[in-house]
Amino acid sequence: MSKKTKSQLITYALVVCLFALAFGLSATGMMSNSMVGLLVPICAYITMAISLNLVVGISGELSLGHAGFMSVGAFTGLATSAALKYYGVITAGPARLAVAMVAAGLFAAVAGILIGLPVLRLRGDYLAIVTLAFGEIIKNLMNNLYLGMDASGLHVSMTDAKSLGMTGGTIIINGPQGAAGIDKLSSLVSGFVLVMFALFVVQNLIDSRSGRAIMAVRDNRIAAESVGVNVMKYRLMAFVVSAALAGMAGALYAMNYSSIVPKKFDFNTSILVLVFVVLGGMGNIRGGILAAALLVWLPEQLRFIGDYRMLIYAIVLISVMLLTNNARVKAFMEGFRERRGMRQAGAAEGGDGK
Amino acid sequence: MDFLTNLINGISLGSVYAIIALGYTMVYGIAKMLNFAHGDVLMIGSYVCFIVMGTYGLDPLICVLLSMACTTVLGIVVERLAYKPLREATSLAVLITAIGVSYFLQNMALLIWGADPKAFRSVVRLPSVVLFDGQLVISAVTIATVLAAIIVMVCLTLFTQKTKMGKAMRAVSEDKGAAQLMGINVNTTISMVFAIGSGLAALAGVLLCSAYPTLMPTTGSMPGIKAFTAAVLGGIGSIPGAALGGVLLGIIEIFAKAYVGTQFSDAIVFAVLIIVLLIRPAGLLGKEIQEKV
């Protein structure tokens, strides 16, 4: 087995173990109620971390507006699910969830293409600020989106609920108030499936010819271009795949609550996911998963200290960044890695001798 | 007349953005970092002014100077503790640290002053100027804000062009290593930039709260992001660019609110930024640097 496949299998195994633990604890009632309520959001954030890692870690672009794609997916997903039920196309919960997620992924992917085409022409910090700008624009537009359905079909408006001109029917998305009365279709099982799907997509993409091209562009754009790699195509590929996954995570997240507002998916949410990716180690999918799970779990555990919770969170964040970038700590870790490398090399030599 | 009123309000709001953007742009120019905690420094400055004014009833001008002094110290301390150890780290690590500092400051403010919004009393207590038989009313805060921005711009330009410290700043932002070899103390220079930027943030915060008098721990976030946008719009790293970007952004925002609708003003502001960056990738006054192979 190659080193790569082994590493990939470890990641899958890690996710399976985490979920087995979550299943076990929640089934035996050893988990507090508030923690059980966090399980689906954790799945959504893990998917977000995997998705953003593809852009930030693998493709090397800093995106500060990832919550925008989550928002697009969230509202597409819940609208799809509501419409399917209302018109009686599909009534079974899991099937509706699946269709809603596919729709969410598609819409977010379209948003990804529309945003990616202009954004990816820029570089570095300018690219980051433009993704931030797009995130804010999406939030602003979602805040003014009104969507309703009645016997004659779907009605969309960008001004207010009255202008939908509906006869009876129900309003699905109500501007700044967002969506209410959502069918809570998400479950830990669907979260698990989504995380495994995201993992499967991203790991296979990284390990493919396209993935190598994406990383080549990240490492040296000019060199990659000069050997014939289509820079725009591969940057866009990573961006759009990531957007689609973020959209699906959004749908999972939204359908875990009975109501959700567009404001939920703001700059702070984008930053939260970015923190998972950076703390987990950029480009390190496994690290991102662990960081996401840990950093959603940790504030919940710190609830007893009340208002000091976010203060502690901030201090932890700064300390981790200072420690991981400290020259001495780095040298120590380097030494540790070297020793381990030598031991492995020694073992391999010994094996050859026999 | 509506047009003129909107224009004046736009210039005034833009002046606040310009003062905040100066802090962003100078820090970016010298340390190459996006200091996301800048908006929260502004918020702390406003709170200090609010408290000093409320409890001791001092002269507003003294309160403003006091709050500027406080944030100047805050800026230096934050730089020393959080950013200096990361001089050699990747820019993303610094960015996350800045976000950590931003969370820290917001939650400190939340703990000390509570979440309920405070009604900020304007620091400019002069009567409004009435022109054209009352058709055009310009509040004293508006005039004071624009004047403050002009004074700050002139002083900063003189400072960076004429003084030894200013020249050192330009040298460090051009080439850190070469500046060090020429005997410039890079650390002191960077500290100085943080000090100036943070002091200006307090001034901007006080002016902003005088015009829009609600003060909360999150007051600094959105103006921070807008000012950052302004800095990028004008060309990040450029001082005149920050001023131009700030004023433009303020005018666009007020006009969007007046003629398109309040709810879409943010979307329009950010859309303008995107369009400008697509046409001029380094901002309006930014220098385009060709990549060398």
Q: Which residue has the tokens 């406080």?
A: B70
Alpha-carbon gap, residue A44 to A56, rounded angstroms: 18
The mean pLDDT value for A169-181 works out to: 81
Distance of CA A36 to the CA centre of its chain: 20
List CB contacts (< 8 A) between B106 and chain A: 310
> Which phi-psi region, left, alpha or beta, contains residue B225 (left: φ > 0; alpha: ψ -120 to 50)?
alpha
Out of A118, A267, A307, name the one closest to residue B274 (CB). A118
> Which of A271, A274, A318, A323 best probes binding to B when mutated, by most B CB atoms within 10 angstroms?
A318
Give the model's confidence band at A354: pLDDT under 50 very low, under 70 low, under 90 confident, else very high. Answer: very low
**Contact call for A315 and B97, based on CB within 8 A:** no
- Would the pLDDT of A350 be above 80? no
Tell me the two tokens of residue A205.
């993409």
pTM: 0.86
Alpha-carbon gap, residue B160 to A308, rounded angstroms: 41
> Which phi-psi region, left, alpha or beta, contains residue A88 (left: φ > 0; alpha: ψ -120 to 50)?
left
A:B CB pairs within 8 Å: 117
- From B60's Cα to the closest Cα of chain A, the distance in A is 31
DSSP readout, A57-97? IIS----S-HHHHHHHHHHHHHHHHHHHHHTTS---HHHHH
State the maximum Cα–Cα separation within chain B, in Å, rounded to a whole number.
65
A199 vs B138, which has greater pLDDT? A199
Collapsing DSSP states into helix, strand and coil, what is residue A164? helix
- H or E stretch at B149: helix B140-162
Alpha-carbon gap, residue B254 to B206, rounded angstroms: 20
Residue A321 Cα distances to A131, B73, B98, B175, angstroms: 23, 23, 10, 26
Give bridge partners of residue A23 from the DSSP assignment.
Answer: none
Collapsing DSSP states into helix, strand and coil, what is residue B131? strand
**Contact call for B97 and A313, based on CB within 8 A:** no
**Contact call for A121 and B293, based on CB within 8 A:** no
Residue B117 Cα distances to B104, B212, B216, angstroms: 19, 12, 5
- Would the pLDDT of B43 be above 80? yes
> Which of A279, A321, A323 best probes binding to B when mutated, by most B CB atoms within 10 angstroms?
A321
**Contact call for A278 and B281, based on CB within 8 A:** no
Q: What is the DSSP letter of A120?
A: T
- From A236's Cα to the closest Cα of chain B, the distance in A is 16
Out of A134, A313, A325, name the one closest to residue B93 (CB). A325
In chain A, domain spans: 3-305
Instruction: State what percent of residues in chain A have pLDDT above 90.
Output: 26
The secondary structure of B67-85, three-state, reads HHHHHHHHHHHHHHHHHHH
Model ipTM value: 0.83
**pLDDT, chain A, mean:** 85
Q: What is the DSSP letter of A56?
A: I
List the single residue in A with minimal CA-CA distance to B228.
Answer: A129
> Which of A56, A121, A125 best probes binding to B when mutated, by most B CB atoms within 10 angstroms?
A125
Instruction: State what percent of residues in chain B have pLDDT above 90.
Output: 21
**Phi, psi (5° rounding) for residue B213?**
-80, 50
List the single residue in B with minimal CA-CA distance to A280.
Answer: B93
Asked if A143 and A169 count as a contact pair (C-beta separation under 8 A), the reply is no
Number of H helices, E strands in chain A: 13, 3
Q: Which residue has the tokens 């939340």?
A: B110
What pLDDT sits at residue B290?
63
- Would the pLDDT of A53 be above 80? yes
Alpha-carbon gap, residue A327 to A321, rounded angstroms: 12
Asked if B29 and B231 count as a contact pair (C-beta separation under 8 A), the reply is no
Low-confidence winner among A137-141, A228-232, B127-131, B205-209 (lowest mean pLDDT): B127-131
> Which of B34, B263, B293 best probes binding to A when mutated, by most A CB atoms within 10 angstroms?
B263
Asked if A50 and A208 count as a contact pair (C-beta separation under 8 A), the reply is no
Asked if A113 and A236 count as a contact pair (C-beta separation under 8 A), the reply is yes
What pLDDT sits at residue B293?
58
- Would the pLDDT of A323 be above 90? no
- From B96's Cα to the closest Cα of chain A, the distance in A is 7
- From A325's Cα to the closest Cα of chain B, the distance in A is 6
The mean pLDDT value for B213-217 works out to: 84
Low-confidence winner among A155-159, A214-218, A326-330, B76-80 (lowest mean pLDDT): A326-330
The mean pLDDT value for B125-145 works out to: 78
**pLDDT, chain B, mean:** 86
Q: What is the DSSP letter of B34?
A: -
**Contact call for B97 and A222, based on CB within 8 A:** no
- Would the pLDDT of A215 be above 70? yes
Model confidence pLDDT, tens digit, residues B78-90: 999 888 888 888 8
- H or E stretch at A148: strand A146-150
Tell me the two tokens of residue B272.
């303008």
Asked if A245 and A89 count as a contact pair (C-beta separation under 8 A), the reply is no
- From A306's Cα to the closest Cα of chain B, the distance in A is 10
What pLDDT sits at residue A243?
94
Model confidence pLDDT, tens digit, residues A249-273: 999 999 988 888 988 898 888 988 9
**Contact call for B92 and A279, based on CB within 8 A:** no
Model confidence pLDDT, tens digit, residues B139-192: 888 888 899 999 999 998 899 889 998 889 888 888 888 988 988 898 889 999
Model confidence pLDDT, tens digit, residues A290-318: 999 888 888 777 777 777 878 888 888 88
> How many Cα atoms are found within 13 Å in the side-chain-facing hemisphere of B1?
9
The mean pLDDT value for A149-159 works out to: 79
Domain made up of A3-305: CATH architecture = Orthogonal Bundle (1.10)
Residue B181 Cα distances to A146, A343, B164, B178, B185, angstroms: 61, 43, 16, 5, 9
Spell out which chain B residues touch chain A, with contact meaning CB-CB distance below 8 angstroms.
Answer: 28, 34, 82, 85-86, 88-93, 95-97, 99-101, 103-104, 106-108, 110-111, 221, 225, 228-229, 232, 236, 263-264, 266-267, 270-271, 273-274, 277-278, 281-282, 291, 293
- Would the pLDDT of A29 be above 80? no
Alpha-carbon gap, residue B237 to B241, rounded angstroms: 8
Alpha-carbon gap, residue A131 to A61, rounded angstroms: 10
Q: Which residue has the tokens 């833009």?
A: B14
Model confidence pLDDT, tens digit, residues A122-133: 877 788 888 988
List CB contacts (< 8 A) between A143 and chain B: 263
